[in-house]
């Protein structure tokens, strides 16, 4: 499957809602083990919310190694590539379960570290 | 009809100036009825004040109050010109229209208008020619700045939208943008988010802001990993030797090329101000492959 992002979304890949559209179009294809190519030709602007939902979200159910093998990205400029890498790295570490006590522990620990 | 008169003082963009703004917020927040802003004592007004006062006016109106800006009281010519040039005066009923100059227009976004905001950032702010950047770099900078708006709409809980204003200062070749929301504020949002922990309400605002600026940290619930926007913005500001300041509740954060600092202040307001200063030095604004 190949998706021309500019035709489907436009020249700006910014908001999460547009990212969700891409996710919805490619998820089942990837789950079946088929390749997907996202062509970003003439897309000029990118932001993390779009990629969080379009690509990062895939890592809930697809291992990172499999995703990198199946998902091909074309014509993405350097800033877009950097954001995608950051999104994948972030999503790969995300577990989804919010341990509020641990979050408070982390907040207070960082504060204590800075105070010393 | 009784009316509260707020005399707008001289307002620059240092911490004491923001304290003046938050004092005004406190006065108006407690009153909530009919407010008149008088500029007779104002000798100087920066865009952070314009964005803040605009949002404050809409906040009063959202609570069924009324707001009047006394344009005749703006006797200082520079203040009057500034309020008119950036379109603020016209937005609030003055007959004077805005015009193109060193101001970046005052803007209200009631909802997340992605194309409107990105056009504003790309063509009214960074793309105005004060710093010569390639289209690619202009777009890259606008993308980072978008994260401010996205955070405001996604996380603040603002019911009246987001308010922006900026200016180019030729004397020191700097470009400013202030973005204000009257949502709950970042520390308050985090305390609510972790509210099931008994320590939540005692979390210092400074610690909450530090957490918010850490890569991967987010109060979003759900299965999609978030929390990259503020970190990306922080990175951009530091690489370009700019300054990013955030005032939210009683917390204050400053990020610049020397590092970052998070503090608790004595005065608070319910909302968030993001104040960015960029240097218009072309040497700072090039991709590695642009010579």
Select from B45, B65, B99 the last residue of a domain. B99
B147 and B250 co-located in one domain: yes
Residue B127 predicted with pLDDT over 90: no
B-chain CB neighbours of A78 within 8 Å are 287
Residue B149 predicted with pLDDT over 80: yes
B185 and B75 co-located in one domain: no
B111 and B233 co-located in one domain: yes
What's the confidence (pLDDT) of residue A65? 94
Tell me the per-residue pLDDT of B193-211, one tens digit each, with 9 for 90 and over: 999 999 999 999 999 999 9
Mean pLDDT of B149-171: 93
B141 and B220 co-located in one domain: yes
B37 and B139 co-located in one domain: no
Non-local CB neighbours of B121 within 8 Å, separated by 6+ positions? B141, B142, B145, B146
Q: Kindly report the CATH number assigned to the domain that includes residue B171.
A: 3.30.565.10
B-chain CB neighbours of A49 within 8 Å are 150, 154, 226, 229
What's the confidence (pLDDT) of residue B141? 86
Q: Kindly report the CATH number assigned to the domain that includes residue B58.
A: 3.30.750
Residue B10 predicted with pLDDT over 90: yes
B206 and B266 co-located in one domain: yes
Residue B287 predicted with pLDDT over 70: no
What is the C-alpha R_g of chain A? 17
Closest approach of B7 to chain A, Cα-based (Å): 39
Mean pLDDT of B221-243: 84
B109 and B236 co-located in one domain: yes
Tell me the per-residue pLDDT of A49-59, one tens digit each, with 9 for 90 and over: 999 999 999 99
CA B264-B266-B268 angle, to 5 degrees, is: 85
B228 and B121 co-located in one domain: yes
Q: Chain B residues contacting A, CB < 8 Å?
A: 112, 114-115, 118, 135-136, 139-140, 142-143, 146-147, 150, 154, 190, 193-197, 199-200, 203-204, 206-208, 210-211, 214-216, 221-229, 232, 262, 287
Residue B223 predicted with pLDDT over 90: no
What's the confidence (pLDDT) of residue B1? 59
B224 and B94 co-located in one domain: no
Mean pLDDT of B29-51: 91
B108 and B83 co-located in one domain: no
B82 and B185 co-located in one domain: no
d(CA B123, CA B139): 10
Is B285 within 8 Å of B131 (Cβ atoms)? yes
Instruction: Give the nearest chain A residue to B187 (CA atoms).
Output: A107
Select from B45, B66, B99 the last residue of a domain. B99
What's the confidence (pLDDT) of residue A111? 84
Over pLDDT 70: what percentage of chain A? 97
Residue B286 binned pLDDT confidence (cut-offs 50, 70, 90): low
The whole domain housing B172 covers 100-291
B179 and B140 co-located in one domain: yes
Is B126 within 8 Å of B138 (Cβ atoms)? yes
What's the confidence (pLDDT) of residue B291? 53
Could you say which of B140, B208, B224 has the minimum Cβ distance to residue A53?
B224
Residues of A (12-41) whose Cβ lies below 8 Å from B: 12, 14-16
CA A59 to chain centre: 8
Select from B99, B116, B145 the last residue of a domain. B99
Q: Looking at the 3D structure of chain B, how many domains does it have?
A: 2
Residue B290 binned pLDDT confidence (cut-offs 50, 70, 90): low
d(CA B104, CA A81): 30
* Prediction ipTM score: 0.86
Q: Which residue has the higher pLDDT, B102 or B51?
A: B51
What's the confidence (pLDDT) of residue A96? 65
Residue A87 predicted with pLDDT over 70: yes
What's the confidence (pLDDT) of residue A79? 85
Is B287 within 8 Å of B195 (Cβ atoms)? no
Mean pLDDT, chain A, as a whole number? 92
**Least confident residue range of A103-112, B15-24, B162-171:** A103-112
What's the confidence (pLDDT) of residue B62? 93
Over pLDDT 90: what percentage of chain A? 72
Tell me the per-residue pLDDT of B64-84, one tens digit each, with 9 for 90 and over: 999 999 999 999 999 999 999
Residue A115 predicted with pLDDT over 80: no
What's the confidence (pLDDT) of residue A97? 61
């Amino acid at each position: 499957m190949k998706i021309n992002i500019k035709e489907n979304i436009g020249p700006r890949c910014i908001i999460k809602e547009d990212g969700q559209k891409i996710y919805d179009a490619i998820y089942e294809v990837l789950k079946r083990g088929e390749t997907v190519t996202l062509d970003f030709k003439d897309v000029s602007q990118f932001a993390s919310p779009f990629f969080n939902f379009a690509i990062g979200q895939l890592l809930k159910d697809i291992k990172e190694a499999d995703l990198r093998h199946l998902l091909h990205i074309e014509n993405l400029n350097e800033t877009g590539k950097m954001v995608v890498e950051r999104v994948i790295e972030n999503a790969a570490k995300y577990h989804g379960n919010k341990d509020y006590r641990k979050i408070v522990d982390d907040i207070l620990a960082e504060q204590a570290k800075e105070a010393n | 009809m009784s009316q509260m008169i707020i005399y707008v003082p001289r307002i620059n963009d240092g911490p004491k100036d923001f304290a003046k703004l938050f004092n005004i917020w406190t006065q108006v927040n407690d009153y909530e009825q009919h407010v008149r802003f008088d500029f007779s004592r104002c000798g100087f007004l920066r865009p952070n004040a314009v964005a803040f006062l605009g949002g404050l006016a809409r906040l009063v109106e959202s609570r069924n109050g009324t707001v009047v800006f006394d344009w005749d009281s703006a006797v200082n010519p520079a203040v009057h010109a500034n309020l008119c040039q950036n379109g603020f005066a016209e937005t609030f009923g003055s007959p004077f229209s805005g015009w193109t100059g060193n101001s970046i227009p005052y803007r209200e976004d009631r909802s997340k208008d992605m194309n409107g905001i990105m056009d504003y950032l790309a063509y009214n702010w960074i793309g105005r020619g004060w710093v010569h950047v390639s289209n690619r770099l202009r777009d890259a900078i606008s993308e980072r700045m978008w994260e401010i708006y996205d955070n405001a709409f996604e996380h603040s809980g603002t019911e009246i939208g987001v308010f922006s204003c900026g200016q180019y200062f030729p004397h020191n070749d700097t470009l400013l943008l202030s973005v204000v929301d009257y949502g709950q504020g970042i520390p308050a949002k985090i305390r609510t988010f972790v509210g099931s922990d008994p320590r939540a309400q005692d979390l210092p605002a400074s610690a909450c802001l530090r957490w918010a600026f850490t890569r991967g940290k987010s109060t979003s619930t759900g299965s999609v990993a978030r929390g990259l926007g503020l970190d990306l913005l922080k990175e951009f500001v530091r690489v370009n030797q700019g300054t990013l300041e955030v005032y939210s509740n009683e917390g204050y954060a400053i990020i610049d090329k020397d590092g970052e600092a998070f503090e608790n202040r004595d005065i608070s307001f319910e909302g968030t101000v993001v104040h960015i200063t960029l240097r218009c030095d072309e040497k700072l604004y090039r991709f590695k492959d642009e010579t």
